[in-house]
Amino acid sequence: MANATALPAARPAASAKKRRTSPTKRKQYRAAYLFLLPFFIVFITMLVVPLVYAGYLSLFESKLIGGEVFAGLNNYVRALTDPQFWGGLGRVALFFVVQVPIMLGLALFFALALDTFLARGSKGIRLLIFMPYAVPAVVATLMWGYLYGPDFGPIAQMARALGFGTPDFLSAENILGSMMNIVTWEFVGYNMIIMYAALRAIPGELYEAAEIDGAGQFRLAWSIKIPAIRPAILLTVIFSVIGSFQLFAEPSLLNVIAPDAITMGFTPNYYAFNVAFINQELNYGAALAFLLGIVIAIISYFVQLGSERSARRERKGLA
């Protein structure tokens, strides 16, 4: 990163206009803060204040008599002993453990495959795989809901024609898997594009040694490409943590067609919404949302930590 402060001092033209460097510097500080101001106004009012407010709300209880009263950590104790909350958290954790590796594995495979340019129509393939990203989660869920449908869903039609009977994608046991498929469909392309963009930016020198060695595509991918795009992969993992722990649109829309399979606490976010807006328990809802935020922050932190460690280990191994 270039050091901007060092520059004004080394500029005779400016020092002729202004006798000392410090007013110039101050002027630049002021400009920098003014550039940052609009963003941080919105940042503070729309992120920091709601966060603090959620924390504050979560410490109160509303009673029939006496209205809002301070409750200390009661809401948190309640959440931590609430089977609905744990059930939802368990479901998204399972979702994260199963769906995210599949999704990111597919994304990485496609990115690497397209980066070799060995397939015909690579550009078309890239765009078509990416296209579902432009489809809102609501529309994707609606659409897959129809595709899963036992009556006019084409999957059921084909399964019946082949004599397999009608698969029940929307039963209580299968619906989490069906949801994983929807999210995979939506986001493989997005993650692929992030990884692909990073692959395209790998400097050519890195390939020279491999070319001399005559390494094949698989070794090239494994020992040069994947390590080189580690930051991009980390980024997609962190986005996936946030995405899977916050699942909302999918359960809330599938609830319409599979009300028995989607319970009120199917995912933590859906639960917090139902508690706050259907049950009108705002304080408890705030505690649930806050707790979910803490869980996401902790997991993201460990993901980053783990990745830093393995990067360090690798560097040591190379040295």
Partner 1 sequence: MTSTETRTLLTGERLDNAKASYSRTRRRSWLLTVLLWLCVLYFVLPLWWLLVSSTKDNSALFSTFGLWFGGELSLWDNLQTLFTIRGGLFTRWLINTVVYSVTAAVGATLLSAMAGYAFAKYEFPGKKVLFSATLGAIMIPLTALALPTYLLFARAGLTDTPWAIIIPSLVSPFGVYLMRVYAADAIPDTLIESARVDGAGEFRTFWQVGFRLLGPGLVTVFLFSLVATWNNYFLPLVMLNSSELYPITVGLAQLQAAASAGGGTQALFSTVITGSFVSILPLIIAFLFLQRYWQSGLATGSVKG
Selection from 18, 16, 38 nearest residue 28 by Cα: 18
194 lies in the binding site for partner 1 (CB under 8 A): yes
Whichever of 176 and 229 has its CB closer to partner 1, that residue is 229
User: Binding segment for partner 1 among 33-41, 76-84, 97-105, 310-318 (CB under 8 A)?
Assistant: 33-41
Whichever of 98 and 303 has its CB closer to partner 1, that residue is 303
* DSSP percent split of the chain into helix, strand, coil, nearest 5: 75, 5, 20
Q: Could you count the other beta carbons within 10 Å of the beta carbon of residue 129?
A: 20
188 lies in the binding site for partner 1 (CB under 8 A): yes
**1 to 4, 8, 21, 66, 277: CA distances (angstroms):** 9, 16, 21, 58, 48
User: Binding segment for partner 1 among 68-76, 77-85, 87-95, 209-217 (CB under 8 A)?
Assistant: 209-217
The number of helices, as runs of H, and strands, as runs of E, in the chain is 17, 2
Q: Could you count the other beta carbons within 10 Å of the beta carbon of residue 126?
A: 17
195 lies in the binding site for partner 1 (CB under 8 A): yes
Residue 195, both tokens: 């990884």
197 lies in the binding site for partner 1 (CB under 8 A): yes
Within 92-151, which residues bind partner 1 (CB under 8 A)?
A: 106, 110, 113-114, 116-121, 125, 127-140, 142-144, 146-147, 151
185 lies in the binding site for partner 1 (CB under 8 A): yes
Give the whole-angstrom CA distance, residue 233 versus residue 225.
Answer: 11
Amino acid letter, 239: F
Selection from 83, 104, 66 nearest residue 241 by Cα: 104
CB of 179 to partner 1, least distance (A): 15
CB of 187 to partner 1, least distance (A): 11
CB of 60 to partner 1, least distance (A): 12
7 lies in the binding site for partner 1 (CB under 8 A): yes
Secondary structure class of 171 (helix, strand, coil):
coil
204 lies in the binding site for partner 1 (CB under 8 A): yes
Within 216-255, which residues bind partner 1 (CB under 8 A)?
A: 216-217, 229, 231-232, 234-235, 238, 242, 245-246, 248-249, 252-253
Within 162-181, which residues bind partner 1 (CB under 8 A)?
A: none
Amino acid letter, 30: R
257 lies in the binding site for partner 1 (CB under 8 A): yes
